[in-house]
Amino acid sequence: MQEPAETRHAEALARLQAYIRDGKYGRGDRIPPERQLMEQLGMSRATLRQALEALERSGAIWRHVGKGTFVGDGPAGLTVGDDSLADLGRQLTPMRMMHARLCLEPALAREAAVHATGEAMTAISRTTKRARAAATWAEYETQDDHFHRAIAQASDNVLLLSFFDQLNRARRVVTWGTVERRNVKPPEDHSSFEEHDAIVQAIADRDGDRAWSAMRDHLKLVSTRLFP
């Protein structure tokens, strides 16, 4: 009998965490490339990537396009400041969190328009396609998270990416309240799809000012939808 997908994913994540821990990879160390990890851990590429994405969302690793995957702060690496970030997040209101995003993320979009590689653009576009294909709101929100982080990563600035990751970890602690959903998944005309497309096109066109404006407009509209 085949194991449930959740169980397989949990086991894959545990094996990857143990590999990093037992290999004594410390903060800032680069871990082996995907092909080597697949062979050593006996995982398919899809399973490995899900485990890597889970660690990346938690801040345990971070990826630099063209250079590799590195150990960062979080469960599989050195946990630095997680408690203080959680405390900070609990002190923030949703409106203040959105304001913080408005301060940082348009600037990241502008930087991405200048520095994004072809590989980075592919990663950004992949998240928009997966978001449109999402079968549930939870899956969509995961891809939305990946979209914004892919743009931060495309800025090709480790410090700015670190700022984004810290903001994102604090954001997860903020109490947003209950958002009403009329459908089990985003409708085909979900407004964020076109807003994301506008950001991607501006970055692809290397138009930093337009990328800045598109991201700011998107976040303002998200804020309006959350706080009508």
DSSP code per residue over 26-90: -TTPEEPPHHHHHHHHT--HHHHHHHHHHHHHHTSEEEETTTEEEE-BSTTSB--SHHHHHHHHH
Q: Residue 221 — pLDDT band, cuts 50, 70, 90? A: very high
Q: So what's the pLDDT on residue 154?
A: 96
- SS3 of residue 24 by DSSP: coil
pLDDT bucket at 6, cuts 50 / 70 / 90: low
Residue 95's alpha-carbon distances to 74, 92, 175, 195, in angstroms, are: 26, 8, 11, 20
Closest to 19 (Cα-Cα) out of 45, 42, 3, 50: 42
What is the pLDDT averaged over residues 128-157?
91
Whether the model pTM is above 0.85: no
Domains of the chain, each with CATH number or no CATH: 5-71 (1.10.10.10), 82-226 (1.20.120.530)
pLDDT surpasses 90 at 118: yes
List C-alpha distances in Å: 78 to 14, 20, 33, 220, 224.
Answer: 16, 11, 21, 35, 37
What are the b/e assignments for 56-92, b being 16+ CB within 10 Å?
bbbbbbbbebeeebbbbbbebbeeeeeeebeebbeeb
Whose tokens are 């800045």? That residue is 212
The helix, strand and coil proportions of the chain, stated in percent and rounded to the nearest 5, come to: 65, 5, 30
Which pLDDT value is given to residue 76? 39
Residues 60-101: tens digit of each pLDDT: 887 776 678 888 754 433 343 455 656 666 677 888 889 999
Report pLDDT for 58.
74
pLDDT at 8: 72
Give tens-digit pLDDT for 154-186: 999 989 998 998 888 777 767 565 556 778 889
Whether residue 71 contacts residue 23, with contact meaning beta carbons closer than 8 Å, is answered with no
Q: Per DSSP, what are the bridge partners of residue 70?
A: 30, 62
What average pLDDT does the structure give for the chain?
A: 84
Q: What is the pLDDT, as a whole number, of residue 169?
A: 77
Using CB atoms within 10 Å of the CB of residue 164, give its burial: 0 to 12 exposed, 13 to 18 middle, 19+ buried. buried
Counting DSSP H helices and E strands in the chain, the numbers are 10, 3
Q: Round the CA-based radius of gyration of the chain to a whole number and report it.
A: 18
What is the token pair recorded at 136? 């549930």
